[in-house]
Chains A and B, each alone.
Chain A
Amino acid sequence: MNPVIKTVLQRLGLGLLTLFAVSVIIFSTLELLPGGFAQAILGQGATPETVANINKSLGLDRPAVTRYFEWVGGAVQGEFGISFASAGSGWGSSNARHVSDIIAPRLYNTFFLAAMTAIIAVPIALALGLLCALYRNSWFDRIANALTLTTIASPEFFVAYILVFFLAVKLRWFPPLSTISDTTSFWEHIYKAVLPSLTLTLVIIAHMMRMTRASVISLLSSPYIEMAKLKGLTPKQVILRHALPNAWAPIATVIAFNLAYLVVGVVVVEVVFTYPGIGQLMVDSVSKRDMPVVQACALIFAATYILLNLLADIVSIVTNPRLLHPK
């Protein structure tokens, strides 16, 4: 078999195994819930009979392994069970909502925000990181270094509130809260998502710039680049023919790593701007102890995170043949 395909398949298998293990962990947290599922729905009014009743009607009296595979099977098809919070008022009544119905619109909003951020942040960060690496130790590089370190070290909400304070409250350019409903038009959605997206952009640009800078510098100091310079190639040829082919792997890793970072950053930023995304839903559900919703959100976040890292690894394997020959 072609060694490239073999390595990629190995990595894919490992990724799927990780995904499986993570889903088992997330599933088992529900099993560990004190008192169990039924107790959590019924709250104070739980009697042994009603608890047994609900367990039976939901099939919770069956072994955990069976239910795990049902849950995963459902999750793959986008079906995560029924929300506790909606079921609390009266079990089996018409207001019991499916988790997938709650999540679907919010998932779209979150991906909208993440995509908008990525489209702005990735090109800017790569360009700035490259400039810093090429003109390292210049004033530009030093200022950028101090600024990015400060941004990375600040909590997301600090960056967010500074932006709100100046751009929304003092200058009144953008709304301080992103209230988005089903009727919001596409362009209005973009306008309202500017501040949350700008916050995320600033945070991940800082990360991405530093990582790009570091990987380009380590690349440019490698012996074969020096060789290329010494044999009299123009800087353009050195960069395009010799540096760039080997730079794809680190750059892909940098991008995927930061998009994965976005997955976490989105939670806090959505809460700051009350942006109706999946992060805010998760935080609300944690306060209500609505376990099925929290599980579904956690699974979506974790899966995105794992898949992005997997993607980065595969891109770096495919673009960098040197990785195929481990010493």
Chain B
Amino acid sequence: MTQTQTETRVIKARRSYVQNVWRILKTAPPTAIFGMVVIAIYLFCALFAPWIAPYGEADIVGKSYQVSSSEHWLGTDQIGRDTLSRILFGARNTIGIALLTVLISFCIGGVLGIYAAVTRGWLDQILSRLVDVLMSIPVLIFALMLLTMMGKSVWNLVLILAVLDSTRVFRLARNTSLNIVVQDFVEAAKLRGEGMRWIVLREIVPNILPPLIAEFGLRFCFVFLTIAALSFLGVGIQPPTADWGSMVAESKTLITFGRPQPLIPAGAIALLTVAVNFVVDWFLYQTSGLRDEK
């Protein structure tokens, strides 16, 4: 009787990768869904800014400081550029520059961190001490100092922040890899004569990937906020490039006249970082089982 039952049971096909992702996505809490929707909208705006925006990035299209109207939904700025268009182009510049910085920072920090953990030699010692020192200076302060020295330009900004931020990535990559390097399966790979390349790419990287991806989201938020703060302070992204941080600084006098103009770009920054944080929170919960209790 039992024999026949087991035989007639239909064996389901293995779920495809897409099905798995979909299954996990369906369990996402509302905050994470909200976050993903917001990020998708931002990316859409950033990619298609020239097609969506009603006017050009630096086009002067009317009188300065106009209030919102049917022609200019969010009004115009101090020299008569359309605020909505600048917000849309700003998405492209601000997010693009922050993403580029974080990518560079992960390349530097990630590679050096894993290398330091695998070799454990004098290089590891030197890099770790250097990172300790660099991390004891607040990033914003350090960036302000280096920008004075090297002069204000977007490339200097990207380079400085990428190097400063890579210290955090280095530390995470090194510490997580150290835990993996001592595991038996790495030892086994070494014993069967695999090279460094195999050990790093096939044994270590897959295991440290989830924390690194979560860190990518958090580093992005941090870099994004730092760039916005530096641009707001007038030493980051320079005009006429549309950028949210400098747009807040440009329109800040309006707030004393009771017009919430600077709140629009500032809110755009806040919304994106909140969204990324929500998604990262959920991602961490999913991958590491980082739960508050039990």
Contacts and interface: CB of A to CB of B under 8 A. Distances in A.
Contacts of A25: 133-134, 137
Nearest to A154: B270
A287 B231 CA distance: 12
Interface in A146-180: 146, 149-150, 152-158, 161-162, 164-165, 168-170, 176-177
B277 A165 contact: no
A271 B136 contact: no
Interface stretch (B53-61, B75-83, B104-112, B139-147): B139-147
Interface stretch (A70-78, A234-242, A299-307): A299-307
B146 A169 contact: no
B276 to A, nearest CB: 8
Interface stretch (B172-180, B187-195, B258-266): B258-266
A158 B141 contact: no
Given A158-B263, A158-B269, A268 B233 contact: yes
Nearest to B263: A161
Contact of A29 (B31, B149, B263, B292): B149
Interface stretch (B6-14, B85-93, B248-256): B248-256
B293 A302 contact: no
B138 A264 contact: yes
A221 B145 contact: no
A211 B96 CA distance: 31
Nearest to B272: A153
B273 interface: yes
Q: Which of B132, B232, B278 has the most CB of A within 10 A?
A: B232
B221 interface: yes
Contact of B144 (A18, A21, A30, A298): A298
Interface in B207-259: 221, 225, 228-229, 232-235, 245, 248, 252, 255-258
A203 B141 CA distance: 18
A222 to B, nearest CB: 11
B197 interface: no
Contact of A32 (B149, B228, B233, B274): B149
A156 B149 CA distance: 26
Contacts of A264: 138-141
B124 interface: no
Contacts of A56: none
B293 A294 contact: no
Nearest to A136: B292
Contact of A283 (B142, B144, B149, B248): B144
Contact of A267 (B140, B151, B234, B258): B140
B32 to A, nearest CB: 12
Q: Which of B137, B145, B225, B266 has the most CB of A within 10 A?
A: B145
Given A153-B221, A282-B144, A146 B233 contact: no
Interface of B is mostly: helix
Given A153-B270, A154-B270, A302-B136, A294 B144 contact: yes
B266 A157 contact: yes
A302 B248 contact: no
Given A154-B273, A283-B235, A298-B142, A161 B255 contact: yes
A162 B256 CA distance: 12
B203 interface: no
Contacts of A152: 277
A285 interface: yes
Q: Which of A25, A214, A285 has the most CB of B within 10 A?
A: A25
Contacts of A177: 256
Interface in B139-178: 139-142, 144-149, 151
Given A33-B149, A153-B274, A161-B262, A176 B141 contact: no
A149 B267 contact: no
Contacts of A254: none
A217 B292 contact: yes
B141 to A, nearest CB: 5
Nearest to B130: A21
12 contacts: A18-B132, A149-B281, A157-B248, A158-B270, A161-B252, A177-B256, A263-B141, A264-B141, A283-B233, A286-B233, A289-B148, A298-B144
Closest 9 A/B residue pairs (Cβ): A154-B270, A158-B266, A153-B273, A153-B274, A21-B133, A264-B138, A301-B141, A298-B145, A286-B148
Interface of A: 18, 21-22, 25-26, 29-30, 32-33, 136-137, 146, 149-150, 152-158, 161-162, 164-165, 168-170, 176-177, 214, 217, 221, 260, 263-264, 267-268, 271-272, 282-283, 285-287, 289-291, 294-295, 297-298, 301-302, 305-306, 309
Given A32-B149, A157-B232, A264-B139, 6 more contacts: A149-B277, A153-B273, A158-B263, A267-B141, A301-B138, A302-B136
